[in-house]
Amino acid sequence: MNRLLYISIFTVIFLTNSTVYAQEVEIGLQENPSIIKHLRENPSILHKSTQSTDTLELPFFDDFSSYSIFPADTTWADRDAFINNGYAVHPPSIGVATLDAINNVGAMYEDAGTAPFIADHLTSLPINLSGLSEADSLYLSFFYQPKGLGDDPEAKDSLVLEYYAPKTEEWHWAWSKTGSPLQSFKPVILHIPFDTLFYQKGFQFRFKNYASLTSLSNASFASNADQWHLDYIYLDTGRTATDTVLTDLAFLSGPSFLLKDYTSMPWSHFLVNNSQMVDEFSFTFANHRTNGIIIIREIEIYDLITGDPPFEVIGGGGASNNFPPGDFTIYHSPNYTFSSASTDRAEFLVQAYLKPGEIAADFSQSNDTAGYVQIFDNYYAHDDGAPESGIGLAGEGAQNGMMAVKFYNYKTNDSLRAVDMYFNRTIGDANQKYFILRIWAHDPTTGLPGDLLYSQLGEKPEFHDSLYKFHRYFIKGSLGQDTAINVPDTFYVGWKQTTSDLLNIGFDKNNGTPPEGATNWHNPWIFSNTSGGWQASSKVGAIMIRPVFSEQAIVGIHKPTEKLSKLVVYPNPSSGMFSIEISDTQFASDISIDVYSSTGQLVMSKQISEEKSQLDLREFPPGIYFLRANSEGKILMQGKLMVVR
């Protein structure tokens, strides 16, 4: 029997016999869209075994900065953990492994219930400990954090570490931690006791988490729960009980967005008014060592569509300073206007690099590079496209309640033709309730939504099996035809409910963060109305709703590549050898692969004539390379490859 009619919500709602008035509700996800999207883009992963006969030699180390979505199969034996940059709060290095109540195909575990159950595992490949003795001083260290931006593990939940004894083929308890509210990442270091059970070829260690869900009768509230985050997992000899500081230089976060209020805006709007460019942007890194070090920082911006040479925000040797141990946030003027030969849309890779400016140990080089892709299409967005939770209105009085998201329009003679909305799927599609799409003007007197500009009846949350889960709701005329409206320089997009049930729209918790030390903060972009008056929200994040502009009629959602899922390149990063798989054989004979250096120089061209092939970049130096796959004049895939040594 499916037992997933349970809830784990961040805003606690008491559904008892007492009256519950309408309010904003934030809940966890019932599926992991990042995992689902990754599997659809890389279908061959589903057919690859997670079992390996390889035996690793010491040292064992992973900071999860080289891979995303799944753990590296060169280090780990399973795919339960979710490798991400979105859920942890101030990790010691970019990239963490998250253990929660969602499995490796992106769905909640079927045996999830109110009693604690074993959920995710993170299991090392077999490791060779034969020939070691007590004198070798073997220690395992790691950092952990409960909750992060997810859900608090309760006291009955736990994170557990176990060791595997090859001789007896049994797992033995080694360490555990009971659930708690959010804490900073804490280091743990454990001596591997000298025991012939463990000191063998084939030793393994694994983390697992016990999760539990809170009972609730409303299926639309059922959600993921009890997150734990792991980082800097390191097993080696010659260590001590105080050896928790790694001599490493690491990004803690990538470069901040270069737009003031948005993660994206229409390219045609930016071209006529680039005042959204920030005066300065930032990135945060850490010197994880006990002494100061000269650090060189470099930042480059690449035009991914035209392939032009990169613009150096900081380059030519970079900017260097002597940084003592600790964390640092660096601010810098971008001195860049995102100019491009592209006319309808643009994509830029904003990439930052760190490196020691002197001869010094750097434990992990993969966390010395961080970046993101800045997209300019035909919409305004406050979100990054990936929800960490859901948000909406629920409770008595939510029927006829309204939520609105504020936008600034930088080209008022353009036409608003559609609204993209990202709804989280719920069990049994319990949020399939009709709503009224609405657009409001700004009331300068109150600073709140004002006159109603547009209202469209008969809409409901829609989901897609494609890679793009935003659903496009077109602006309709009185006869139901696609049309457009003009909106002022400040406007609001949102909905009016026709039900008291939660609609569960995607909520990006990585954006909309209040300033440090702020009290009584209210989100400047989100507003709700449940009692006849508008109120600014105190929720931290961005609602995934995007107004779409175009002078001409538009159809569907733009997809940057024609057949993205037909070609897969892996592993990425790698030491230089990449595998290429084509899942649709009709493309196997006419695909050309072009590889460009970070300066835009074509360094390799290769014709693909088989379903499986290899791309060998081992003769090239480590760094970022750009790949473009073409067929019959169309781009099938474009992206970056990372070569690490």
Q: What pLDDT is attached to residue 559? A: 43
366 phi and psi angles, rounded to 5 deg: -70, -25
pLDDT in tens, 8-48: 333 333 333 344 567 899 988 989 988 988 888 777 776 66
Q: What is the mean pLDDT of residues 332-347?
A: 84
Under 8 Å between Cβ of 635 and 605:
no
Contacts (Cβ under 8 Å, ≥6 apart) of 361: 247
Q: What is the mean pLDDT of residues 372-390?
A: 94
In the chain, how many H helices and how many E strands? 2, 40
Please say if the pLDDT value at position 259 is more than 80. yes
Residue 284 is which amino acid? Answer: T
Please name each of the domains of the chain with its CATH number.
31-236 (2.60.120.260), 253-376 (2.60.40), 389-549 (2.60.120), 564-643 (2.60.40.1930)
pTM, two decimals, is 0.83
CA distance 597 to 627: 9
For the chain, what is the largest distance between any 2 Cα atoms, rounded to a whole number of angstroms? 83
Q: HEC states along 401-429?
A: CEEEEEEECCCCCCCEEEEEECECCCHHH
Q: HEC states along 190-214?
A: EECCCCCCCCCEEEEEEEEEEECCE
Higher pLDDT: 570 or 595? It is 595
CA distance 186 to 159: 13
Higher pLDDT: 510 or 547? It is 547
Please say if the pLDDT value at position 457 is more than 80. yes
Confidence band of 314 (pLDDT split at 50, 70, 90): confident
pLDDT in tens, 207-255: 999 999 875 545 556 688 899 999 999 999 999 999 988 899 999 988 9
Question: In Å, what is the CA distance from 544 to each residue of 157, 392, 444, 506?
Answer: 31, 11, 25, 5
CA distance 316 to 300: 11
Q: What pLDDT is attached to residue 565? A: 43
Buried b (16+ CB within 10 A) or exposed e, 536-562: bbebbbbbbbbbbbbeeebeebeeebe
Q: What pLDDT is attached to residue 645? A: 58
**Two tokens, residue 635:** 């781009």
Kind and range of the H or E element at 235?
A: strand 228-236
Which of 214-223, 495-504, 550-559, 630-639 is most confident?
495-504
Question: In Å, what is the CA distance from 579 to each residue of 53, 306, 347, 571, 573?
Answer: 20, 26, 26, 7, 11
Q: What pLDDT is attached to residue 307? A: 74
Q: What pLDDT is attached to residue 583? A: 63
Q: Please say whether the dihedral angle defined by the alpha carbons of residues 525, 543, 421 and 302, taken in this order, is positive or negative.
A: positive
Percent of the chain with pLDDT over 70: 87
Please say if the pLDDT value at position 560 is more than 50. no
CA distance 455 to 460: 14
Please say if the pLDDT value at position 4 is more than 50. no
Ranking 43-52, 130-139, 278-287, 417-426 by mean pLDDT, the lowest is: 43-52
Question: In Å, what is the CA distance from 243 to each residue of 33, 59, 99?
Answer: 38, 14, 25
Ranking 191-195, 383-387, 390-394, 640-644 by mean pLDDT, the lowest is: 640-644
Q: What residue has token string 């469209």?
A: 456
Q: What pLDDT is attached to residue 318? A: 67
Q: Secondary structure of the chain: what % helix, strand, coil (to 5)?
A: 5, 45, 50
Contacts (Cβ under 8 Å, ≥6 apart) of 85: 68, 94, 95, 96, 253, 254
Contacts (Cβ under 8 Å, ≥6 apart) of 32: 82, 102, 106, 224
Please say if the pLDDT value at position 557 is more than 50. no
In the Cβ-directed half-sphere of 221, how many Cα atoms lie within 13 Å?
24
The CA angle 271-275-279, to the nearest 5 degrees, is: 125
Mean pLDDT, the chain, as a whole number? Answer: 85
CA distance 14 to 145: 28
Percent of the chain with pLDDT over 90: 51
Q: What pLDDT is attached to residue 16? A: 37
Contacts (Cβ under 8 Å, ≥6 apart) of 240: 137, 139
CA distance 288 to 183: 20
Q: What is the mean pLDDT of residues 523-537?
A: 94
Q: Please say whether the dihedral angle defined by the alpha carbons of residues 315, 316, 321 and 322, taken in this order, is positive or negative.
A: positive
